Structure 1
Amino acid sequence: MPPAATSAEIVQVSGPLIIGYLLHWGLFGFLSLQTYVYYDAFPNDRLFNKALVYTVYLLELVMTILITHDAFMIFGSGFSNLSSLTEVHFDWLAVPIMGGLVALIGQTFYSYRVYVVSKSLLIPCVIVIISLTSSVGALITGVWSLEAGNITRLVNHRISIVVGVWCGASALSDIIIAVCMTYYLTKRDTGFRQTHAAVSKLIRLIIETGSLTAVVALINLALFVAFPNRVYYTTPGGILPKLYANAIMVIFNARIRTVGGRGADMSNGDTMSYRNTAPNTDGGGPSIIAIRREVFSDMDSHVEMKVMGDAHVSP
């Protein structure tokens, strides 16, 4: 950026960056909360599930540290230095490379669920291949971003192709997952009230999370191509890894059943109820906390639900 840059030109660079940083930190806070809920609610979950959850969280933690470093370099130690706004710091590693790795983990996680519900290897293999293609595109994007050294000089014919592969393949994988999971879960719906409620909830979550990540990936690609020499793409690109991580945690924590919530069914005999004798602050009666054992629709083992609270066994 030239030294005589106007305030409007500065805002065109600093605006998307600061919005992306704020959304990134907010989504990391939400991810931290979801991870703690998982840790508290599923202490006896399968080792594979625990390893996946904590690996993703560790990657996102490192990514957030790198992003925070970049934010400090731009708006802290580099404040009023116009060249620091467009200089490539650690964002080449945090956003495309580590973000592509998180997306690969998440989409592989979903492909296994597709295999469980479909009992077919064809579609899961297609999803994994597309996801690997996206991750390779993300890796190349990160390396070329480091070579460019300036985020306003990234857009050229060569890098536009790999960004298209990165974001386009990622969006395609998300769409395939959402469509296939919806189709196969609908076929497994037995029609019983509790099963129907669980299947409907899972379908809704998969469609919502898959559609969100696909839309953000396509927006990232569109902004990258449509506005050359601008950094508008940094906002959706910066939050995309956090969206994938949160999507994984939403599916895991969806196994928690809220007593009295929508679709709740307390008629199942495999439920233990506890009564909180302390009066509610709103003047209502004592609350009921339930712990139930149920089968998550895409797991092959029973998982014990746990709801924390100051509860006493009712006489």
Structure 2
Amino acid sequence: MAGSLSSSELERTFGVFFIGYVAAMVGYGFTFFQTYVYYSRYPRDHWAIKLTVTALSLLDTAASALISQALYFYLVNLFPYESGLDNATHTFSTEIALAIIAKWIVQMFYAYRLWTISTSVQRLGPAVIAVMSTAALVLGLVMAADLINDPRIAHLANDGPHAVVASCQALTFVAGLLTFVLLCYHLRPSHTANMKPIEGWFDNMVAYIISRGSAGTLVQLGFFITFLIAPANLYWIPFHFVASKLFINSLLTMLNCREVVRGRGVNEEETVDSKKDSAFSGSSGSARSGGAVRFNVDDHKISQPVINIEVSRTVQQTDGQNKILYDLADNGSLSDGTPDKPEKAYAV
């Protein structure tokens, strides 16, 4: 084994690829789990959202399988490692294409989400995100096709391929950054009246780091920087593996964090802050007798009449025994008979 690679060379090639593979498999585990959670919680969600989740899950599964096959080839078929990881296999090149497609689907979904919550003047931002992510998709597919035709990883350092790949990663990063900024702007509680705010440090961390795409965007920035500095080396491969997993899980986390109403998801801007709403209903209901138990469900952001249920408890003496009457009416009053002695009103 005189021609075998040294320990440092193995670390810079196969070691880097293996680290990226382990991180990618952890990310795929989260993808599998979150897909299960989604279909368990939202069985009646819109068909387009279901199709998006299914497509991302299948793409991530196929990409993970291709990474596994590439790792097997590099670690088993190339033994005893007389040369480094110099060439990209067809499976590795195909995985690059699938990862690019998955990131494009995620960013297009975010762009559509922003489009629906923006005014006509503010829709320039989602349009820019869609254009940049589509351009990144085209450049990424060109990169994958180029690696299939010329599998030498070192040739990515040439001016032409280097510009294509760097532009692809830069556009993906800028689109992700713009998505994060616009989501934070539109989904702040002060922007939407009576919107339920995010409470607790953990929920805030999940919202700002994961579901709004900042984690995937930061890893994408690392991908861009490492490839820009050393395209012929393999240090960018772990960032490539992890970035697509984070983008997919960001979208799945955003979907799974929604409230559930009759099997459908309710977006953040469609939720109602119960504290603000109960304060309003309490002040308006004080003019009437008794307390109110108010059940508020804001479904599909459609203006619906709110049902106020007031419960009054009366006591009548009949044959020496106490008789408790509960009368319910749709208009909120609870009286079919005349109470003798109002004992107590219960209010929530």
Question: TM-score scaled to structure 1, two decimals?
Answer: 0.76
2: CA distance, partners of 1:301 / 1:29? 37
Instruction: Report how far residue 228 of structure 1 moved.
Output: 4.3
Match of 1:219 among 217, 222, 229: 222
- Partner Cα separation in structure 1 for residue 137 and residue 53 of structure 2: 19
Higher relative contact order (CA 8 A, sep 6+): 1
Amino acid at match of 1:60: D
Counterpart for residue 12 of structure 1: 12
Report the Cα distance in structure 2 between the residues aligned to 1:300 and 1:169, rounded to whole angstroms.
34
The answer on whether the counterparts of 2:4 and 2:82 sit within 8 Å (CA) in structure 1 is: no
Partner of 1:171: 173
Distance in 2 separating the partners of 1:300 and 1:201: 27
- Cα distance in structure 2, aligned partners of 1:83 and 1:293: 64
Letter in 1 for 2:38: Y
CA deviation string 1:242-278 (max 9, x = no partner): 1111111010001158xxxxxx988899xxxxxxxxx
Taking the TM superposition and a 5 Å limit, the aligned residue runs for 1:197-236 are 197=198, 205=206, 207-209=208-210, 210-236=213-239
The aligned amino acid for 2:226 is L
Which residue identity is paired with 1:19?
Answer: I
Moved over 6 A (4+): 200-203, 264-269
- Partner SS state of residue 43, structure 1: coil
Aligned-partner Cα distance in 2 for 1:185–1:211? 15
Q: Identify if the C-alpha distance between structure 1 residues 300 and 28 changes in structure 2 by more than 3 Å, giving closer, same or farther.
A: farther
Partner of 1:135: 137
Aligned partners of 1:203 and 1:179: how far apart in 2?
A: 15
Distance 2:224 2:34 in 1: 29
- Partner AA of 2:127 in structure 1: C
Does 101-110 or 151-160 show the bigger shift? Answer: 151-160
Q: Which residue of 2 aligns with 1:50?
A: 50
Q: Percent identity?
A: 23
| Aligned partners of 1:24 and 1:238 also within 8 Å | yes
Counterparts of 1:301 and 1:170, CA distance in 2: 35
Whether 2:64 is the aligned partner of 1:61: answer no
Q: Give the Å deviation of 1:21.
A: 0.5
Give the match's secondary structure for 1:57: helix
Q: Given that residues 107 and 133 in structure 2 are in contact (C-alpha distance below 8 angstroms), is that contact kept between their aligned partners in structure 1?
A: yes
* Counterpart residue number, 1:156: 158
Maintained 8 Å contact 2:86/2:153: yes
- 1:116–1:203 Cα change, 3 Å: farther
Classify 1:38/1:130 alpha carbon distance in 2 versus 1 (closer, same or farther; 3 Å): same
**Which AA in structure 2 matches 1:127?**
I
Report the alpha carbon displacement of residue 301 of structure 1 after superposing the two structures with TM. 7.6
Given that 1:73 and 1:84 are in contact with CA atoms closer than 8 Å, whether structure 2 keeps it comes out as: no
Letter in 1 for 2:250: A
Distance of 1:16 and 1:111 partners within structure 2: 33
1:281 maps to which residue?
A: none
Structure-1 separation of matches of 2:251 and 2:15: 29
**Are residues 1:242 and 2:245 paired?**
yes
Which stretch has the larger CA shift, 59-68 or 75-84?
75-84
Number of equivalenced pairs = 266
> In the TM superposition, what whole-angstrom CA distance separates every residue of 1:172-194 from its partner, at most 9, and x where no partner exists?
0011111112112225333x5x7
Q: Contact 1:202 / 1:251 at 8 angstroms: preserved in 2?
A: no
Name the larger-Rg structure: 2
Extract unaligned runs of 5+ from structure 2.
Answer: 261-271, 279-295, 304-348
1:72-95 C-alpha deviation (Å, 9 max, x unpaired): 111233332344733211111112
CA distance in 2, matches of 1:207, 1:45: 24
* Cα deviations by residue, 1:200-245 (Å, 9 ceiling, x for unpaired): 9988655423222222112112111212431111110112111111
> What CA distance in whole angstroms lies between the structure 2 residues aligned with 1:133 and 1:167?
10
Please tell me whether the aligned partners of residues 196 and 274 of structure 2 are also in contact (alpha carbons under 8 angstroms). Answer: no
The 8 Å contact of residues 13 and 84 in structure 2, kept in 1 or not, is answered as no
Structure 1 counterpart of 2:191, from 188, 192, 195: 188
In structure 1, C-alpha distance between the alignment counterparts of 2:191 and 2:137, rounded to whole Å: 32
Distance 2:111 2:32 in 1: 24
SS in 2 for 1:154: helix
Q: Aligned-residue CA RMSD in angstroms?
A: 2.9
Q: Tell me how far 1:3 sits from its aligned partner.
A: 4.0
**C-alpha contact 1:63 1:94 (8 A) present in aligned 2:** yes
How is 1:96-111 mapped onto 2 (pairs within 5 angstroms)? 97-111=97-111
* 1:70-149 aligned within 5 A: 70-83=70-83, 85-89=85-89, 90-95=91-96, 97-120=97-120, 121-149=123-151
CA contact (8 A) 2:220 2:239 kept: yes
